[in-house]
Structure 1
Amino acid sequence: MTSQTRTHPALLVPSAAPDLVLATSRPVPQDFVLGVATAAYQIEGARHEGGRTDSIWDTFSHTPGAVVGGDTGDVACEHYHRYEADVELMRSLGMQSYRFSTSWDRICPDGGPVNARGLDFYERLVDSLLAAGIAPWLTLYHWDLPQALEDRGGWTSRETVDRFVDYALAVHDRLGDRVRTWTTLNEPFCSAFLGYTAGMHAPGRTSPADGLAAAHHLLLAHGRVVQQLRARDADLELGLTLNFTVADPLDPSDPRDVDAARRVDGQMNRIFLDPVFRGSYPADLLDDVRHLGFEDHVHDGDLEVIATPIDVLGVNYYNGEAIGHEPPAAALDDSVNGGRTTRSPFPAADDAHRHPRGLPLTAMDWEIQPDGLTRLLVRLQTEYAGPAGVALHVTENGAAFADVPDDRGFVDDRDRTAYVRAHLGAVLDAVDAGVPVRGYFYWSLLDNFEWAWGYAKRFGIVRVDYDTQVRTPKASALDYARIIATRRLPTPWAELTEGGPDPDPAGERRR
């Protein structure tokens, strides 16, 4: 396939540029892995090709008012047909690892028997990555539950746990000899509470009780798969990826704000961390949600399964939050409902509200708080991963901004470049504090379908023209490539001030 990618000549030999090792930079450890991440539904397209059937996101995105602009993932970035060019793009940028998800609907359509054509696609993708010297990092579930299983209860049903195990083993049958790192779930908080409690994500339910049931069954599915894969191959690196917030009380001297922050921490962070690492749900969480029947879903032996030892914890971090017990006068608002009924994703924290702190914002109305990532990593290492001997990787971190391409499609996204540098610096600060973080994956390689925001928000370091599918690396991609090649991290604003070097001095990005 002819590549439809505009590139910069520096990508060919990025280490040759003498001005990249700056006095204002710091070293990146040689064994620290730098990569990018994507997800199947957000980039693949090919909705009904190769035997794929509909997921809950196909149904949800085709529901009027569910997604901004009525956008769907039917075509997305056409990665299903353009994966070879996308792998070559990653190779040219020097990516060391690629975190991607497999599509349950492509591999086990309708949650049923294995579809060999679906596995064929991922086999080709993995082989292409290995040939390019890029380590594959496979995520089994990034929110694309088969709609047929949702029709039978979805994640509120224990049957879905069994079907997930079947699917995971089918993927391992084909790829287990080539993929060493396997994570079961991506952000079960979003799957459970944005999807089943808030109504903001697929399947669009608004039940606190359903969200709690889904959270438990997602964790149970994780534990079951880890057990099965461990029994097959003791050398696999197994784990899951969680998304976190750093919930600070707006007024630490006000017990009402302290309690509101505690509830957010319990219902977003500790509801997943404690059962995985400690084999129990937090006592305060159980008290908060006791009226919702949560413990009825926790059967004898479930917590032992969920606490099956893991090797790696993926850390997704975008922003922290200042939490108060009263609504702010001017709220931060990243919610989308298009006229649909939605509610708080927290099943029992109706008096917990985000308050702006005067920090810079991304296009998602998310505060930019790099130091929150350092604090989070230190906490995770101290309280959870360190005692368990589990490796930490930052598996998602990124930002959407109002990208403005020039007439060649190039985006000089200095705000995103500074964001990446600042957050990589925050990770290295944690490393310097003794936290053995092993890697960082930027979200995302490509602009893509951003769930309920459709194509209205762009997170990629590579711009995608959705009309032509042409990929154009942004300034942030070129900067990230230089960091990887030189193993040096510039300070956030070095070379980015007005009058700095032209990010494309030769005016050549096409090949």
Structure 2
Amino acid sequence: MTNLHFPKDFWWGAAASGPQTEGRTADDGKGDSIWDYWYATEPERFYQKRGPKDTVQLLQRYPEDVALMKEIGFNSFRTSIQWSRLLPEGRGAVNQQAVAFYREYFATLIENGIEPFINLYHFDMPMALQKEGGWLNRETVTAFADYAALCFELFGDQVRHWFTQNEPIVPVEMGYLYQQHYPAEINLAHAVQVGYHEALASALAIQRFRQSQQSGEIGIILNLTPTYPKDPNDEKDGQAAQLADAFFNRSFLDPAVKGTFPEELITVLNELAIMPETRAEDLQIIKENTVDLLGVNYYQPRRVQQKRSAKTADTPMPEDYFDVYDWPEKKINPHRGWEIYERGIYDTLINLRDNYGNIPCYISENGMGVEDETRFIDASGQIQDEYRITFIKDHLRYVHQAIQEGSRCRGYHMWTCMDNWSWLNEFKNRYGFIAVDLATQKRTIKKSGEWFREVIQQNGFVD
């Protein structure tokens, strides 16, 4: 047996988001986000027709929830401010109830020894701005920078770790290519413009943070999905993997860390005549405002091979440049349909070490969604989620190895603290250390939460 110890002051905790936890009350002053609007107009799209109002009611229950985080032993926790809660119209009048709530919430975390890591955007565009085009509209970029500056002003005395956006590729993919987020388009040209505006907005928010001369650091959270070619020795498979990586990883990783965009991606967009609309000063802003810290969300790998199948879409798509490769030796989480490949978290950290200046980073999400976890409740009423313990341990082993080999990884946050609402999937898959009974809102720490408490106490585990 080996004792795996992590660095001193390692960040142990979990991640969540405002729209997936807070809920709404009739008099909370919050404006609609795209999720509120989409649910109101097309509730049938949502699993069991449960919408963003029906989350885990953190807006009212945060003292209890923070107490449970403390019981597990978290020293840090990431969540997000909801843009449409703070600024109901996306700009203009500030919702003072939101200011009071977030200040009390952050203060409660701090009083319990939990450092707040605060993200500014988690897929929740204010509907007032979406009606003007959302991320397709250049004015939204300015509105986001102003919103970010407001957050720094209002909460900068409480927050030392800021993040501009969570997984900015997801609004690109799901909103403008694969129809899983509003406005559910299939339009690569729009997807490119949205991605460009998000990258620019992140850089402008970083610029405003540094202009504010506040203490702390600012980064971005990216879901980095390592891309593996079917045959590493086949040149065409390698080229396919390189393009897939440019579309889905380096499109945001490169501008965030290096201040530039991938050349392979620029070449493709030029060939398709869908380069985004830009201004002369943009590239300099992006180049000069890179991140201090990178959050890495890791769930699964991407496996591709050279394009052999026929193009099926009327509009250009990323998949025109590669085919998905179904690796016969894969392990699958049957509930989510995702491959479990623990080594991918190591490969991602080593890639950052070798190709991105070994930027300080941390694992900002990693987790396993399981359906119908009530099957695993024991006589005491606790969910015996041994599978989640195994999942985390197998990934932490590789995180530890990467750190031993020089990665500047500073922490590990699981997705998520407690079971929460998850977009169109509602509560179909549960991810939390803490179970939530939706009928009663009772919270119960799962076996994985008790195990994680021991990991935190020991700053590691026996392997």
Report the TM-score, using the length of structure 2 for normalisation: 0.93
Higher mean C-alpha displacement, 157-166 vs 270-279? 270-279
1:234 deviation in Å? 4.8
2:5 equivalent in structure 1 = 27
Contact 1:288 1:348 in 2 (8 A): no
2:229 equivalent in structure 1 = 249
Contact 1:197 1:344 in 2 (8 A): no
1:67 equivalent in structure 2 = 46
Alignment of 1:32-47 (within 5 A): 32-46=10-24
Equivalent position amino acid for 2:452 in 1: Y
Unaligned runs of 5+ in 2: none
The verdict on how the C-alpha distance between 1:385 and 1:357 changes in structure 2, with shifts beyond 3 A counting, is: farther
2:30 equivalent in structure 1 = 52
Distance 1:343 1:405 in 2: 46
1:218 equivalent in structure 2 = 198
Which one of the candidate residues 486, 503, 506 is aligned to 2:458? 486
The answer as to 2:324 corresponding to 1:353 is yes
Identity of aligned residues (%): 32
Higher mean C-alpha displacement, 411-420 vs 57-66? 57-66
The verdict on how the C-alpha distance between 1:214 and 1:91 changes in structure 2, with shifts beyond 3 A counting, is: same
The answer as to 2:146 corresponding to 1:177 is no
Contact 2:307 2:320 in 1 (8 A): no
Equivalent position amino acid for 1:95 in 2: F
**Cα deviation 1:213-271 (Å, max 9, x = unaligned):** 11110111111111111111253201111111111111234444323212210001111
Distance 1:366 1:176 in 2: 38
The verdict on how the C-alpha distance between 1:73 and 1:326 changes in structure 2, with shifts beyond 3 A counting, is: same
Higher mean C-alpha displacement, 106-115 vs 397-406? 397-406
Which one of the candidate residues 309, 330, 338 is aligned to 1:366? 338
1:322 equivalent in structure 2 = 303
1:263 equivalent in structure 2 = 243
The verdict on how the C-alpha distance between 1:420 and 1:120 changes in structure 2, with shifts beyond 3 A counting, is: same
**Cα deviation 1:421-466 (Å, max 9, x = unaligned):** 1111111110011112111111100111122211111111111111
The verdict on how the C-alpha distance between 1:234 and 1:170 changes in structure 2, with shifts beyond 3 A counting, is: closer
Equivalent position amino acid for 1:318 in 2: Y
1:391 equivalent in structure 2 = 360
**Cα deviation 1:30-50 (Å, max 9, x = unaligned):** 221111110011111116541
1:309 deviation in Å? 3.2
2:420 equivalent in structure 1 = 448
Equivalent position amino acid for 2:443 in 1: R
1:231 equivalent in structure 2 = 211
1:164 equivalent in structure 2 = 144
Contact 1:33 1:438 in 2 (8 A): yes
1:137 equivalent in structure 2 = 117
Alignment of 1:275-424 (within 5 A): 275-307=255-287, 308-325=289-306, 347=318, 349=320, 351-362=322-333, 363-386=335-358, 390-402=359-371, 403=373, 404-406=375-377, 408-424=380-396
* Secondary structure class of the residue paired with 1:120: helix
The verdict on how the C-alpha distance between 1:60 and 1:105 changes in structure 2, with shifts beyond 3 A counting, is: same
Contact 2:259 2:290 in 1 (8 A): no
The verdict on how the C-alpha distance between 1:409 and 1:260 changes in structure 2, with shifts beyond 3 A counting, is: farther
Contact 1:425 1:489 in 2 (8 A): no
Distance 1:417 1:196 in 2: 36
Alignment of 1:425-440 (within 5 A): 425-440=397-412
Q: Report the number of matched residues.
A: 453
Contact 2:63 2:108 in 1 (8 A): yes
* Secondary structure class of the residue paired with 1:439: strand
2:103 equivalent in structure 1 = 123
Equivalent position amino acid for 1:50 in 2: D
Alignment of 1:180-191 (within 5 A): 180-191=160-171
Distance 2:187 2:338 in 1: 25
1:19 equivalent in structure 2 = none
Equivalent position amino acid for 2:9 in 1: D
1:110 deviation in Å? 2.0
Runs of 4+ aligned structure 1 residues displaced above 6 Å come to 342-345
Contact 1:267 1:346 in 2 (8 A): no
1:324 deviation in Å? 2.5
Distance 1:48 1:326 in 2: 52
* Secondary structure class of the residue paired with 1:472: strand
* Secondary structure class of the residue paired with 1:297: coil
Distance 1:236 1:439 in 2: 16
Report the TM-score, using the length of structure 1 for normalisation: 0.84
1:278 deviation in Å? 2.8
1:306 deviation in Å? 1.8
1:160 deviation in Å? 0.5
1:106 equivalent in structure 2 = 85
Which one of the candidate residues 71, 75, 85 is aligned to 2:64? 85
Distance 1:64 1:178 in 2: 37
1:180 deviation in Å? 0.6
Distance 1:454 1:343 in 2: 31
Equivalent position amino acid for 1:160 in 2: T
**Cα deviation 1:40-73 (Å, max 9, x = unaligned):** 1111111654110111112233424432222211
1:286 deviation in Å? 1.2
* Superposition CA RMSD, Å: 2.1
Distance 1:345 1:26 in 2: 47
Equivalent position amino acid for 1:36 in 2: A
Unaligned runs of 5+ in 1: 1-22, 329-341, 492-511
Contact 2:156 2:214 in 1 (8 A): no
The verdict on how the C-alpha distance between 1:293 and 1:468 changes in structure 2, with shifts beyond 3 A counting, is: farther
Contact 1:47 1:53 in 2 (8 A): no
**Cα deviation 1:299-332 (Å, max 9, x = unaligned):** 212122123132101111111122124689xxxx
Contact 2:304 2:322 in 1 (8 A): no
Contact 1:313 1:385 in 2 (8 A): no
